[in-house]
Amino acid sequence: MPRWLCLGTLVLIAMAFAAPAASQARQAPAKKPTPRKSAPVVKPVQVRPEMTCPAVLGTGVTSKREFCDVMVGRDPQTGIIIRFPPHRGTAMLTFDLHNRETYSEQLVRENRAYARHTATIGVLTPDGTLLTRAVVDTEFRTGKDLLDRVGGGAGPGGVKAVAPIGVETIHVEIPEDADAVSVLGEKLLSVTVDGTETFTAPGRPIAIISSVMIEYRPAPPPKKKAPVKKKQAPQASSAKPKA
């Protein structure tokens, strides 16, 4: 083979290998994927809820709490209704549960005032689903056992005979799809010097709640729907037909 032909062949082979390498060198480096933005952290909100109390007991003379009687019932619509704003995830309902004590100064003087009360209540959704039960158990002997006195009564100092006693702080998880709950009484077991009684009649007040609070993460506002453009009807031709 002539020498010039060998040199030509070597040059062609070298060019064939050099072309892909040069092409790869000219390619831009691959872009890194853009990291996804994490959802904004929504801080929980703690507020007093909108509440409907069918049987308001009154305001505490010392604590200034608003006390609401819990009535025995089966229909959630007749209970204490506590409403929730739209929330993301579960919400938390907190309230203090007390027993009811009818104070009598005469029974205290006669050493016949002893009473032990055990009240059971339920927290339900509007459709009657039971979320939880709660119990408060107390003993009464003298006026020092009372949590507070309630104003607006005819007794000495303008207080009512019925007063809250004891306190149990209740925490209830509320499902995301629930916008309200109902607090209803189930039963009251009362032990006194005269014997033991159980009260379950609908409409009877058996306990008291106060200091109602809710904690929740606000749900995002609903997305606005894009307005639907109406299609315009084709306009009729105004051209006159030729004669």
**CB distance 215 to 45 below 8 Å:** yes
pLDDT of residue 145: 97
DSSP strands (E only) in the chain: 45-47, 51-52, 56-59, 66-71, 80-83, 87-102, 115-124, 130-140, 162-174, 180-192, 195-199, 205-218
Coil, strand or helix at 103: coil
Could you read off the pLDDT of 178-209 as tens digits, one per residue? 999 999 999 999 999 999 999 999 999 999 99
pLDDT in tens, 110-131: 999 999 999 999 999 999 999 9
Spatial separation of the C-alpha atoms in residues 23 and 27, rounded to whole Å: 7
Q: Specify whether domain 45-218 bears CATH 2.60.120.
A: yes
CA distance 69 to 207: 6
